[in-house]
Amino acid sequence: MNLCSSDLIRYGKTKNLKRTSWLRLFDVPKRWFWHFYIISVCWNGFLLFLNVNFIYHRQSFPTWLTAVLDVLSGVSSPDSQVPQLSTVLVQLLVWVHSLRRLLECLFVSVFSDGVMHVVQYGFGLVYYIALGLTVLCVDRIGKGTSSLSQLDWVQTTGFVLFVCASLLQHQSIVLLARLRTGATGAVETLAHRMPTGGCFHWVSCPHYFAELLIYVSLGFVFGGRSSTWWLLVLYVLFNQALAAQLSHELYVSRYQLYPKHRKALIPFVL
């Protein structure tokens, strides 16, 4: 792997600190992660508002949004292969997830001086805009309904999994933050320490595992009927697996007593 490609996939603690000066020109602070979530909260909240008005008050989408959705979905009819209520629930859960992550970035996480590539930063901003459009595109193929009777045990299972995965991710982020804070909550160090407790007993990156579970849960909230969403889940799997493996390798190389039974991402598997 050459320096450029390596620099594009690594961020934070996994970036090589001995990079050349010209590569450092493209660095932005990793703590800017919160920018992704403020964009998501505003944009996906806006799309949720428009969709609720469309379903329950029959107010049409803005012309520009309809045109964008037509291009992305390849159809001109706002029908759906999944219950419209499922789409609204997914939009709501994406918004809740983004709001939680925003609050965690601002008030829980203790970021070091780690950096990410400006291309990663730009991709992150675009990603959450595209995510909201992807959810709405699912609602434009086939024929759907907003009836509550269309929700079944699959959607309920997805909601329960979403709650559990969100709690797991929050717990993991709190444990990571405590590695740098004292009993009073004041920041004592920005150094990287070996994480312990919670699901860190089983994997090096339970917060990445929880992120994957959150996307899987939303696939169930869609009723499991959206092939587009499952393709997105595959992308999240590969993305989180790569990030987790890089972190896992760093931990193993840095700490001689690092638990050998720990996997990188998925307990007992990966």
In percent, the amount of the chain with pLDDT more than 90 equals: 58
Per-residue pLDDT at 243 exceeds 60: yes
Distance CA 111, CA 24 (A): 18
Q: 226 pLDDT band (50/70/90 cuts)?
A: confident
Q: 147 pLDDT band (50/70/90 cuts)?
A: low
Angle, CA 176 vertex, CA 259 and CA 119 arms, to 5°: 105
Averaged pLDDT score across all residues of the chain: 87
Q: What is the mean pLDDT of residues 52-80?
A: 79
Q: What is the mean pLDDT of residues 8-16?
A: 72
- Give residue 140's pLDDT: 61
User: Which residue type does 190 have?
Assistant: L
Per-residue pLDDT at 144 exceeds 50: no
- Give residue 182's pLDDT: 81
User: Which residue type does 45 have?
Assistant: G
- Give residue 139's pLDDT: 62
- Give residue 78's pLDDT: 47
Distance CA 40, CA 114 (A): 23
Alpha-helical regions (H) of the chain: 3-9, 21-24, 33-57, 63-73, 84-107, 118-138, 153-178, 206-221, 227-254
Backbone angles phi, psi at 181, to 5 degrees: -120, 160
- Give residue 152's pLDDT: 80
Per-residue pLDDT at 111 exceeds 60: yes
Parallel, antiparallel, or unpaired for β 27-29 and 115-117?
antiparallel
Q: 79 pLDDT band (50/70/90 cuts)?
A: very low
Per-residue pLDDT at 220 exceeds 50: yes
Q: What is the pLDDT of residues 148-192, one digit of tens each?
A: 556 788 899 999 999 999 999 999 999 999 999 887 788 888 888
The string of DSSP codes covering 141-201 is SS-----GGG--HHHHHHHHHHHHHHHHHHHHHHHHHHTTB-TTS-B---S-----SGGGG
Mean pLDDT is lowest, of 91-100, 108-117, 258-267, for 108-117
Q: Residue 116's closest CA among 19, 31, 27? A: 27
- Give residue 47's pLDDT: 96
